Amino acid sequence: MKLETKYFKTDLLAGLVVFLVALPLCLGIALASGAPLFSGIITGVIGGIVVGFLSGSNLSVTGPAAGLTAIVLAGITSVGSYELFLLAVVIAGGIQLLLGIIKAGTISNYFPSNVIEGMLTGIGIIIILKQIPHAVGYDKDSEGDFAFIENNTGHNTLTAITDAINSIHYGAIIITIVCIGILIAFNKVSFLKRIKLIPGGLVAVIAGVLINELFIASGSILAVQKEHLVNLPIPGSFNEFIGQFSLPDFKGLSNSSVWILGATIAVVASIETLLCLEAADKMDPLKRYSNGNTELRAQGIGNILAGLIGGLPMTSVIVRTSANINSGGRTKLATIAHGLFLLLAVVAIPTVLNKIPLAALAAILIMIGLKLASPKVFKHMWHNGKFQFIPFIITVLAVVFTDLLKGVGIGLVVSILFILRGNMKLAYFFRKDRHREGEQIKIKLAQEVSFLNKAAIKQTLVHLPHNSRVLIDASETVYIDHDVLELIKDFVEFTSTEKNIKVDLVGFKGAYKIENTVSHVNDADEQLEKEVL
């Protein structure tokens, strides 16, 4: 049975949940970016249907990205009009398409797993912190603004929570608690877990709407008002609907500012997409691998189309992708379905959608955040050792207290430093003060010995005492750098003679052009025992 057939129902239902999560995020990111609200919907639809179809990933979900809000906000101002900004989006798409063609997507293979884990965990914490205000009915900051310093208020994530606690709306809290209870029940209660026809996220949203409608009908002060509900623009006529689309101003092709903005969007969007792609593969229950080059080409085509009809730039987005995986999505159908649901909803039922309390959607996002930032992840990384845990925890903190790209950049730098430090260490380093005369000194080379190991090996050989005996074991090596081989040759031919050091060599392959003096490690040990006796 093909995956597309096997997971057809669960993918459709997952697409429905992703749609519910994506709708306020599309609107919130557009608002935070200083763009027309409908531009976020355009990008969500194209990201779901077009990019979803062309994508190299089975699980990644594309849409307007929180990481681009600051660039979009500043970009519209710098180029002077929204139409010129759209031209920059088209250019960005063209650059991404070119990057995919020249196979620049392979860079994603070099992202360390501890940084990817840190990014996912950091995003999970951000989601929780950012949704707390919406959960209690305080909606000053736009949905989709994931930066620590908030665009709309100038406050930060932590002060926004303090403000929210001082402005609690009890009706919103009731809705949040009920919705979280429903989501937990669908995850924990056996008979509810077996219900596959309707996802817990949809039940939670319906419950949130019904509770609020009951509050409104009864005239209760607990009723959640318009400012705490989804706010999808509703056109009064077909002409008003068409008027929500915009065309790029191609006269700006000679404007260098437009090209610079386009290149900036392309680079940032591509990096964020590749990061999310790696994260999606890491979360994939079926452990599949995605093609980064195919993804860049798909994103490029998506951004070209979005720019041509008035949409925001897009990337693969972790929040939507996580919602997809957690809701049971397993193939591209879930992503495409979420785009179709967005399209149908904005055309057919915008009034119904505008009854959804943001508190109900906050409940779904908080549960997603808790899964991403599970204590099990911290425990797992801790047991992996300090060389994994320290870059991981620094990435988490950097993502939370800056933004996604800056946080990952900081995490990468720290991870690279730890990799360099680890590579510069040898499996054995001689301590002269612990050596006893007559003992054989064993130096076992690592599986791969690069130029980064040269300094450590050199220091080891330099500190070997006079009149000693050393065994250099290369039996487990797959690769030894040319410079290291030359260093060992010079030591055998010159330095060891000057210091009267007896050198045994074992395990060196013919390609290394170094002659072994013994055939096996035990041979050197037996010979040493005979000499001692």
Look up tokens 């009064």; give the residue.
236
Q: Report the range of poorest mean pLDDT among 81-85, 209-213, 286-290, 391-395.
A: 286-290
pLDDT confidence of residue 532:
41
Please check whether residue 270 is in contact with residue 296, taking contact to mean a CB–CB distance below 8 angstroms. yes
Predicted confidence band at 1 (pLDDT cuts at 50, 70, 90)?
Answer: very low
Task: Extract the tokens encoding 180.
Answer: 């979280």
CATH for 428-506, options being 3.30.750.24, 3.10.129.10, 3.30.540.10, 3.40.50.880: 3.30.750.24
Please check whether residue 513 is in contact with residue 507, taking contact to mean a CB–CB distance below 8 angstroms. no
Q: What is the DSSP string of 315-345?
A: EE-HHHHHHHHHTT--SHHHHHHHHHHHHHH
Look up tokens 């620094």; give the residue.
394
Indicate whether 89 pLDDT > 90. yes
pLDDT confidence of residue 531:
47
Q: Which residues pair with 503 in a beta bridge?
A: 470
Distance of CA 478 to the CA centre of its chain: 32
Q: Report the range of poorest mean pLDDT among 84-98, 215-229, 306-320, 467-481.
A: 467-481
Look up tokens 């050091």; give the residue.
501
Task: Give me the long-range contacts of 497-502 (CB less than 8 A, separation at least 24).
Answer: 499/464, 499/465, 499/466, 499/467, 499/468, 500/466, 500/467, 501/464, 501/466, 501/467, 501/468, 501/469, 501/470, 502/468, 502/469, 502/470
Query: What one-character DSSP code corresponds to residue 156?
Result: B
For residue 344, give Cα distances in angstroms to 16, 36, 41, 339, 355: 12, 19, 11, 9, 17
Order of strands across the sheet with 440-444? 440-444, 469-473, 502-506
Distance of alpha carbon 482 from alpha carbon 451, whole angstroms: 8
Look up tokens 């303090």; give the residue.
162
Q: Of 378, 405, 403, which is closest to residue 392 (Cα–Cα)?
A: 378
Phi/psi-derived region of residue 143, left when phi > 0, alpha when psi is between -120 and 50, beta in every other case: beta
Which run of H or E residues covers position 175? helix 170-188
Indicate whether 116 pLDDT > 60. yes
Query: What one-character DSSP code corresponds to residue 313?
Result: P
Instruction: Kindly report, residue by residue over 22-79, the tens digit of the pLDDT.
Output: 998 999 899 888 899 999 999 999 999 999 999 989 999 999 988 888 899 899 999 9
Q: How many CA atoms lie within 13 A of 405 on its CB side?
A: 18
Query: What one-character DSSP code corresponds to residue 145?
Result: -
Task: Extract the tokens encoding 451.
Answer: 């130029």
Indicate whether 427 pLDDT > 90. no
pLDDT confidence of residue 192:
82
Mean pLDDT of all residues belonging to the chain: 88
Indicate whether 425 pLDDT > 70. no
pLDDT confidence of residue 429:
55
Say what the alpha-carbon torsion angle 304, 281, 126, 154 is, to the nearest 10 degrees. Answer: -20
* Full-model pTM: 0.78
Query: What one-character DSSP code corresponds to residue 219?
Result: T
In the chain, where are the structural domains located?
Answer: 7-414, 428-506
User: Helix (H) and strand (E) counts for the chain?
Assistant: 25, 7
Q: What is the DSSP string of 398-411?
A: HHHHS-HHHHHHHH
Average pLDDT over residues 486-507: 90
Predicted confidence band at 415 (pLDDT cuts at 50, 70, 90)?
Answer: confident
Distance of alpha carbon 96 from alpha carbon 102, whole angstroms: 10
Indicate whether 437 pLDDT > 80. no
Indicate whether 521 pLDDT > 80. no
Q: Report the range of poorest mean pLDDT among 170-179, 273-282, 304-313, 444-453.
A: 444-453
Number of Cβ within 10 Å of residue 447's Cβ equals 9
Indicate whether 120 pLDDT > 60. yes
pLDDT confidence of residue 13:
93
Distance of alpha carbon 366 from alpha carbon 344, whole angstroms: 26
Q: Exposure pattern of 123-155 as b/e (b: 16+ CB <10 Å)? A: bbbbbbbbbbbbbbbbbebbbbbbbbebbeeeb
pLDDT confidence of residue 524:
58
Question: Pairing between strand 469-473 and 502-506?
Answer: parallel
Instruction: Kindly report, residue by residue over 349-408, the tens digit of the pLDDT.
Output: 889 999 999 999 999 999 999 999 999 999 989 988 888 899 999 999 999 998 888 999
Please check whether residue 307 is in contact with residue 92, taking contact to mean a CB–CB distance below 8 angstroms. yes
pLDDT confidence of residue 423:
63
Q: Of 519, 441, 389, 402, which is closest to residue 112 (Cα–Cα)?
A: 389
Say what the alpha-carbon torsion angle 97, 74, 140, 410 is, to the nearest 10 degrees. Answer: 70
Instruction: Kindly report, residue by residue over 320-332, the tens digit of the pLDDT.
Output: 999 999 999 999 9
Please check whether residue 44 is in contact with residue 341, taking contact to mean a CB–CB distance below 8 angstroms. no
Indicate whether 154 pLDDT > 80. no
Please check whether residue 392 is in contact with residue 414, taking contact to mean a CB–CB distance below 8 angstroms. no
Distance of alpha carbon 258 from alpha carbon 254, whole angstroms: 8
Average pLDDT over residues 241-257: 94
Task: Extract the tokens encoding 530.
Answer: 């005979």
The pair phi, psi for residue 7, each rounded to 5°, is -105, 20
Q: Of 406, 392, 377, which is closest to residue 148 (Cα–Cα)?
A: 406
Task: Extract the tokens encoding 138.
Answer: 């305080």
Indicate whether 533 pLDDT > 70. no
pLDDT confidence of residue 107:
87
